[in-house]
Structure 1
């Protein structure tokens, strides 16, 4: 299957517009507005001018600090994501209303995480600001995608972000309970975003099943988190995050791909054209390979943990 995206039929995107309006109204009925200040323990804050940050100030382990830095940096690059989405979708009508609402909600995440990090000294503030500057200056740019490709990608990306925030929060709970509360609150928003995009792709499968299945296969097989080309030290941090069990191949396969593809019914859909059938077969082979790689990675992570525990026990 070629990785090059087809241009999505304008008719398909236009036919999705009523679904966008319906899903936006559903989102507004279900989502809960919240104030980041409520989730930030401001009383813990100290003046960085008089009390410069020291590595021992953070209650989080080095692994969790690395994960938090990456999570905040990816939230910081909201202007880049918004620009790319507006190019592929529309600033007009229900599409534009959704993008503006989504932008406001995502901006709240970055505000909350940054304020929390300052108040609790969870991460080095100088490193945090350096990450922000370098990430935004690097500029997020999507690979060439069709409109349907973009809808599939953001579906997977929103769920991946939700899982990453949630898993980080659970890992942080023994060290900082308030971090867990804030990250779970953010993860709840990301879940609403995921459901919005997932439902749009479901509608697209009814309108243009073969075209949508090809987009799904393309995006699953070429998926990468948005920060991988912009966040400083992303690949090194990704290894640390994987070892911590926050986000790795096993998480990606079990918690992102399997449930989403099951919801879309990709492998049970009938009436596809030959090209879509071939794409689905390639997707099935890819998933089998990913499953094996995830198993090997999990074994290596467990072996490493056992070795470290053994060293500490001597």
Structure 2
């Protein structure tokens, strides 16, 4: 439950500074809830250390080869993509710390979120290298390329855009991790990613509840932010080397695609917040609400066409 919010009596829009101050109590409530339900876990407990051995190089170990991996091809592609996304954490921390600040409940949450996301990168990298699930040289070169480019949010118009984006993005990340584990072919990997997905779900709940409060506080502005994010959504790793090619493989493999994006990410958040049912909006809020409804209808049609093309492609592949 979020803290009750009283709407302003003025028709003027809220500035980011005013919104940060007005939502501080909600952030504190959600932070306290998160700290109560989040369970401590240790990355080293999820890594099969006994499988590890030296690589070639200064220690004169064995060179990496694809057949050494227990993980499926699609699992490896998705794992690397997910890890490279987590690797860019310094850029994400800078983005949200600049928008939300480093003081009070906002600052405490920013640092806590960063620490938890960092744990995800640690365990995934340790797993990938110890189990020889990925080429360590390629992985490091991709990390250097991706982090050297940095990250800038697509929807950096306002703090409300950032809140709306992470409400959907954290759920998308949870789904991606969970499906990667299910398709990886290694129960150790599946268990690790299920643990990470649990964290991502808690992050989603934090931001979703914060967005609910924002819709109550500044309905027109928040609705516009939701519309912009929903209609222009891209995963944070979209700028990494080879992202488009990897995204196609992941879509066909059933880890993350248009159908999943519509059914399992956008729709659940929009329904939970009752975005299309909110009344009392001004002209801008109504326009944004209508945009969301029209877009979701179009996306459902696109997802149906994708399903048909994917089914036909998989059928052809089975027959060759």
Q: Shorter-chain TM-score: which interval?
A: over 0.9
Structure 2 residue matching 1:47: 3-state secondary structure: coil
Residue number among 238, 241, 254 corresponding to 2:247 in the alignment: 238
Which residue pairs with 1:3 in the alignment? none
Runs of 4+ with deviation above 3 angstroms? 6-9
Which residue pairs with 1:248 in the alignment? 257
Which residue pairs with 1:171 in the alignment? 183
Q: 1:8 to 1:216 in 2, by over 3 A?
A: farther
Which residue pairs with 2:5 in the alignment? none
Q: How does 1:134-213 map to 2 (within 5 A)?
A: 134-143=145-154, 144-172=156-184, 175-213=185-223
Gaps in structure 2 of 5+ consecutive residues: 1-12
Which residue pairs with 2:110 in the alignment? 99
For 1:146-177, what per-residue CA distance to the aligned partner results, in whole angstroms no more than 9, with x for missing partners? Answer: 010000001111111000000101112xx211
CA apart distance, 1:226 = 0.7
Which residue pairs with 1:262 in the alignment? 271
For the 8 Å contact 2:68–2:133, the answer to whether it is kept is yes
Which residue pairs with 2:9 in the alignment? none
Matched, 1:293 2:302: yes
Which residue pairs with 1:61 in the alignment? 72
Which residue pairs with 2:10 in the alignment? none
CA apart distance, 1:7 = 7.5
CA apart distance, 1:258 = 0.4
For the 8 Å contact 2:66–2:133, the answer to whether it is kept is no
* Matches of 2:69 and 2:138, distance apart in 1: 13
Residue number among 7, 18, 22 corresponding to 1:15 in the alignment: 22
Matched, 1:79 2:86: no
For 1:277-309, what per-residue CA distance to the aligned partner results, in whole angstroms no more than 9, with x for missing partners? Answer: 011111111111111111111111111111111
Matched, 1:305 2:314: yes
For the 8 Å contact 2:64–2:136, the answer to whether it is kept is yes
CA apart distance, 1:64 = 1.7
Residue number among 201, 224, 229 corresponding to 1:219 in the alignment: 229
Which residue pairs with 1:282 in the alignment? 291
**Count of aligned pairs:** 303
* Matches of 2:162 and 2:201, distance apart in 1: 18
Structure 2 residue matching 1:228: 3-state secondary structure: coil
For the 8 Å contact 2:178–2:193, the answer to whether it is kept is yes
